A = this chain, B = another copy of it.
């Protein structure tokens, strides 16, 4: 089983409107909603690929109940730990031009709830072949939460993949996460530099065992113990980029547990990520696009002198 952790699980609501009129009343023609948060998206992708997966994290209130009901409907094993606060919503307002997103901050988490979560997490690690730690931290969770969770995973002999940004990412590096996957903007924000190769090397120096930087439509850059690689799709794919990073993380977790070589992992990650762009909802991917891309993604070793 691959365990995914979503500390700030969300109910992702999509509102369709003809054209969003700011500072006016907008009638929503169609509403859809489902369980979200990056770790939930990763679990959806893994499940669609036939991998056994389980979701944990924190959820509470009527919105948390809606998240759990949707996980049950999607047959995703739900080990979310209940909290008193109400889980956050995200609202994506889709009009004929583009999408406007509203992100609630998330519920307050008490220290007792955090302690209850870490106990449950340690139990779940017993059955996990890898753990994926993804997304923002809700208020009240310690700033070094991901450091603690990486350390507990490593102590249990379970490899840990981390998809976080800012302080939450930085505070976990010293514990030696097996893979961190910032996108190029997140990497620049934490390293202060524009060159992703330099930034990836800096995160490695700070403790990450491997760093995979998502470059949007340009593919991935991987800084690993076995070498440095650039993986590129043959052409950009049109669609919704939300969830593309989660699909890449799912592929990296699968490749890690299967013991695949890095170039193979990167081909799958680029193909699955592009296939996620081709699907309208985060957590979904287009299997035909994935299959078509698997044979056409290029991976090039980057010589050390050019880094």
Contact = CB atoms under 8 A, between A and B. Distances in A.
Nearest to A33: B86
Contacts of A28: 102-105
Contacts of A21: 100
Contact of A105 (B29, B89, B100): B29
Nearest to A97: B23
Contact of A25 (B20, B29, B101): B101
Contacts of A261: none
Interface string A15-30: 1010011111111110
Interface in A49-69: 61-63, 65-66, 69
Contact of A100 (B23, B31, B99, B103): B23
Interface residues of A, number: 33
Nearest to A103: B27
A194 interface: no
Contact of A24 (B27, B29, B63, B100): B100
Nearest to A91: B91
Nearest to A99: B23
A84 interface: no
A280 B21 CA distance: 22
Contacts of A31: 88, 104-105
A172 interface: no
A91 to B, nearest CB: 6
A5 interface: no
A31 B89 CA distance: 10
26 contacts: A13-B89, A15-B91, A15-B102, A17-B102, A20-B22, A20-B23, A21-B100, A22-B22, A22-B100, A23-B97, A23-B99, A23-B100, A25-B101, A25-B103, A26-B100, A26-B102, A28-B102, A31-B88, A31-B104, A31-B105, A62-B65, A62-B66, A62-B69, A63-B66, A65-B65, A91-B102
